[in-house]
Amino acid sequence: MQEPRYLSKEEIEEIIFSKLSQDEIDKCKKDHLLVKDRDIIYMGGTAPGSVHFKTYDGREILDCTSQAWVYNLGHNNPDISYAISRQSQITTHAWSYFLTPIRIKFTNKIAEIVPGQLKGGRVSVNNSGGGWALECAMRLAMVNNKKGDRFIVFRRGYHGSNLVMMGASQRLPMRFPAFGAEHWIRTFYPYCYRCPWNYKEGLGGERDKSCNLECLEMVRQDIEMYTTGTPIGCIIEPIQGPGGQIPAPVDFLMGLKEICKNNNILLIYDEAQTGFGRTGKMFATEWYEATYGKDISPDIMTLTKAAAAGVPIGITVGKPKLRSLTEFEEHSTFSSPSLAMAACLVNIEILQKYKIPESAAKLGEKITGYLKDLSEDIPEIGDIRGPGLFIGVEFIKDQKTREPHNDLLNRMIHTAWKNGIFFGEQMQILSTAGYYIQNTLKIKPPLVMNDEDADMICILFEKSLKEALKSI
């Protein structure tokens, strides 16, 4: 470990770790935060690699969000911390024009582990996350097909909140419009539990056995007959996260892949939330193939969130035969993030060596099994969807009408917090008529949790839900 040059260790520790005063906290909240509604002060994990975190007021919370679905190896994992520390002794930044040893290792490893037709492909990296990774994917599509500049996107999708990508996402609660809205063609995403063709047995993320995939035909017509301009890319979450933890049926994805191929459209998967072990496989694309025996792999994939187990990163992978970008077309100042690439490499090694995705699959089955049993006694639990530790629980007011129960979700989140557990929630699906839908709870804890943690999630879920129901 290098010794400090300009400041003493004590001075550096004082700058970073000195105890907060109430005056500092109040000044920050009142005068200096651009977003003022931030009351909870997160103090890190209760231990390195823990599934619990601490708050400033001394509470310990069981984290079922992995802090925005990022900490797949637990809070401040010690292996990741060590990787960052060691890499920082060599380089923390290099101009993207240069190759570095860590970038060579990282690029080769990503090309090695990606599924299907992506294997052996071309890799781009950034330190900004999924929005920039998707922009890179769009640039790649544009240099490979210069006949158009339109992109297919899907209802309830979420692909980032910058001014461009918010146009690709479901309408967000913003006070300003997206830029470039004319470049998006929005179509239908299959939501089997709420099928508009009135199939009623689409449960647990599976489509109704009598379903004829009318939704796929609708998408085909939207793409081939009713577009304005020429679509060259199709961006989809194979399993929607923010929109409500909704898996697309495998036959829908296979059909979409064929439609894109027939229309010279590059299929782009946004695996921001499903990548790096959460579904029980390294990628959701792999999970589909393992479960159904079908290769749904896309032309381009984007990754972020848990890719570096807590360090900001975005990754774009294109299949080998695609035309490459130029240096200027890919460039941003921080598009060779050494610390993130080191963290990602170590993350991958741990996931593979210790079979953590496989463990996530088993623990996910345990939790969803418990919840399904619980739903027999609590009719407000409408649907329970996985796979792995990518769990969604949809609350309803009535089993027959399946009316969304927004209020129950809101009360459940707050009651659970009081009980020492932090659940996530789907984004709001906003209506122009003034109402919204937000009724799906997310259970997405760190993948390194154990059986005792899974048991506690189940116990606190049941306790919190029953208390929330009593309060309504």
CATH number of the CATH domain containing 381: 3.90.1150.10
Write down the pLDDT at residue 354: 98
* CB contact burial 300-320 (16+ within 10 A = b; e otherwise): bbbbbbbbbbbbbbbbbbbbe
Domain end among 319, 353, 387:
353
Helix axis angle for 101-113 and 338-353, nearest 10°, is 40
CA angle 422/315/106 to nearest 5° reads 110
Domain end among 353, 370, 389:
353
User: Strand 60-63 and strand 52-55: pairing?
Assistant: antiparallel
- Assigned domain for 4 exists: no
Say whether both 51 and 191 belong to one domain.
Answer: no
Pick from 151, 133, 131: which is nearest to 141 by CA?
151
Say whether both 125 and 245 belong to one domain.
Answer: yes
CA distance 434 to 423: 26
CA of 314: how far to CAs of 168, 252, 272, 275, in Å? Answer: 18, 27, 9, 12
Q: Which residue has the tokens 């690709």?
A: 168
Please enumerate in sequence order all residues whose Cβ is within 8 A of that of 294, keeping only pairs 6 or more positions apart, or say none.
Answer: 250, 254, 288
CA atoms within a 13 Å half-sphere pointing along the CA-CB vector of 278 = 34
- Assigned domain for 2 exists: no
- Assigned domain for 443 exists: yes
Number of domains in the chain: 2
Say whether both 332 and 396 belong to one domain.
Answer: no
Say whether both 422 and 309 belong to one domain.
Answer: no
Write down the pLDDT at residue 221: 97
- Determine the structural domain holding residue 391 and report its residue range: 15-76+355-472
- Assigned domain for 5 exists: no
Say whether both 342 and 363 belong to one domain.
Answer: no
Say whether both 384 and 321 belong to one domain.
Answer: no
Say whether both 298 and 362 belong to one domain.
Answer: no
Say whether both 372 and 470 belong to one domain.
Answer: yes
Domain end among 353, 370, 402:
353
Write down the pLDDT at residue 313: 97
Q: If you count DSSP H runs as helices and E runs as strands, how many of each does the chain have, helices first?
A: 14, 19
* Per-residue pLDDT tens listing for the chain (472 residues): 789 999 999 999 999 999 999 999 999 999 999 998 788 999 999 999 999 999 999 999 999 999 999 999 999 999 999 999 999 999 999 998 899 999 999 999 999 999 999 999 999 999 999 999 999 999 999 999 999 999 999 999 999 999 999 999 998 889 999 999 999 999 999 999 999 999 999 999 999 999 999 999 999 999 999 888 999 999 999 999 999 999 999 999 999 999 999 999 999 999 999 999 999 999 999 999 999 999 999 999 999 999 999 999 999 999 999 999 998 888 889 999 999 999 999 999 999 999 999 999 999 999 999 999 999 999 999 999 999 999 999 999 999 999 999 999 999 999 999 999 999 999 999 998 989 999 999 999 999 999 999 999 999 999 999 999 999 9
- Assigned domain for 179 exists: yes
- Assigned domain for 113 exists: yes
Peptide bond between residue 115 and the one before it cis (omega within 30 degrees of 0): no
CA of 23: how far to CAs of 14, 26, 56, in Å? Answer: 17, 5, 14
Write down the pLDDT at residue 37: 77
